[in-house]
Amino acid sequence: MSRACGSGTLLGLNKKRSARPQSMSVRTRFAPSPTGFLHIGGLRTALFCWLYARRHGGQFILRIEDTDLERSTPEAIRQILDGMEWAGLDADEGPFRQTERFARYREVIELLLAQGKAYRCYCTKEELDRLRAEQMARGEKPRYDGRWRDRVDSRPGVQPVVRFKNPLHGEVVVEDAVHGRVVFQNSELDDLIISRSDGTPTYNFCVVVDDMDMRITHVIRGDDHLNNTPRQQNLLEALGCKPPIYAHLPMILGADGAKLSKRHGAVSVLQYRDEGYLPEALLNYLVRLGWSHGDQEFFTIDDMVRSFDISDVNKSASAFNPEKLAWLNQQHLMRAPPERLAEPLRWQLERLGVVGADEAKLLRIIMVQRERCKTLVEMAAQSLFFFSAPTSYDEKQVRKHVSTAVVDILRDLAGALERLGEWAAPALHSLISGAADRSGLSLGKVAQPVRLALCGGTVSPPIDATLAILGREESVDRLRRAVNEWALMIPPLP
């Protein structure tokens, strides 16, 4: 079993003067616990780990921290894996599961015990609860007082836990790549439990053993872990290992500035897929939360990999802003190769009941719709009329745009369209504007009723483009059907 671990080149401590890719191979890891779905906070952490590894040609490792047997679920694991896959954050190693490594943890615990670096504690939970309550009452920081630290006896009938002998004096210095130097006093730390009374290892311990065994060089995680870091560093030291480089990322808050919770926008990342967001747009949005690269707002995945640097990460928490996400999604829709959008659009259309749309038609729709939609859900909904004729017409708009004169124009137009030579946007445009001119009407006065006839409403891509995609037969058909219906509705002029 390898004992090697990351050598601690301190990087990123000097802003704008960060280390170039170092000779040792960068290894990062994302280590979610499967007690719930993967939400944007987790995704952002995963993204930064992934980007850092990719940027430096290193490895990105996925590890499932499922030591909490009570709360971990297979569905959550599935869900996390699906989310990562959708986002395109591919792991070079893993997913590893901590439950598969219990023998290894046991081995390290025995080692620490044998070396006198850990000890058995026979306190009961009740005893510890009492201790905590007393300390709180006295206004002290609640912590274990080390009462079994130097005892060699045992207490019959009590299954002991194993605690790590944290140094009593001195300080622990965390050299954090985003926060800089953070100093903790050992006197503030207590002897943490590394093995429960049922023999299972605990989180802080497993993390350390795993990061050591997996030779993780950069631990990039949420800054809610900053307070755990000194303990982990002490543990690592007791194991004869130099600490990795730590980078603690600021939290992401809900849109209201409050902590992300189930009630405040903490939804599965897969929900963004369902709502019609592109993963690259979500990632683009997320990468700009707590990180920036000058004034650049739009990043492709490649742009991110090229530009990402831990030393540009900032320290303060940021609020999630759905409007900006929507804007970025539209930017990505507008700039992506149309082929990129075909499958996700098809999927959204299918959810609305449109089956078997052909690829070429989808691409044409994408070209005319992408700059008028924030999401693929919107694009699909606004493109339904390309697949089925309107079943009704917006009544208010009909009253506004349709008159007997207009009905006559549309009737003529239907005939002209039938005879038109080349069925393409430029020819369609001149045909319609010609018809408008001859009637002394503006283009809009003709285009709007045509739109109403084709789509049922007054919002669509440019009328020539809409006709072009709909095709001659379908267009003429819809126009005639509308003309017939409207001719009955409108009373003839006296």
Partner RNA sequence: GCUCCCUUCGUCUAGAGGCCUAGGACACGGCCCUCUCAAGGCUGUAACACCGGUUCGAAUCCGGUAGGGAGCGCCA
In the numeric block, which tokens belong to residue 484? 């017939």
CB of 25 to RNA, least distance (A): 26
Give the integer Cα–Cα distance in Å for 331 and 282: 11
Give the integer Cα–Cα distance in Å for 203 and 411: 75
Cα-Cα end-to-end distance for the chain? 98
In the numeric block, which tokens belong to residue 22? 């170092």
Give the integer Cα–Cα distance in Å for 451 and 152: 87
Give the integer Cα–Cα distance in Å for 293 and 129: 48
CB-nearer residue toward RNA: 183 or 488: 183
CB-nearer residue toward RNA: 312 or 474: 312
CB of 442 to RNA, least distance (A): 6
Closest listed residue to residue 200, CA positions, set 97, 72, 77, 68: 68
Which of the residues 262, 315, 324, 400 is marked catalytic? 262
Strands (E), 98-229: 118-121, 161-164, 171-176, 180-185, 193-195, 218-222
Q: Is 259 a catalytic residue?
A: no
CB of 291 to RNA, least distance (A): 7
State the number of CA atoms in the 13 A half-sphere of 18 facing the CB.
19
Give the integer Cα–Cα distance in Å for 74 and 86: 18
CB-nearer residue toward RNA: 58 or 166: 166
CB-nearer residue toward RNA: 165 or 196: 196
Say if residues 381 and 456 touch (Cβ distance below 8 Å): no
CB of 96 to RNA, least distance (A): 13
Q: Tell me how many degrees the CA angle 475-481-484 measures, rounded to the nearest 5.
A: 140
CB of 486 to RNA, least distance (A): 18
CB-nearer residue toward RNA: 58 or 65: 65
The residues assigned a catalytic role are 262
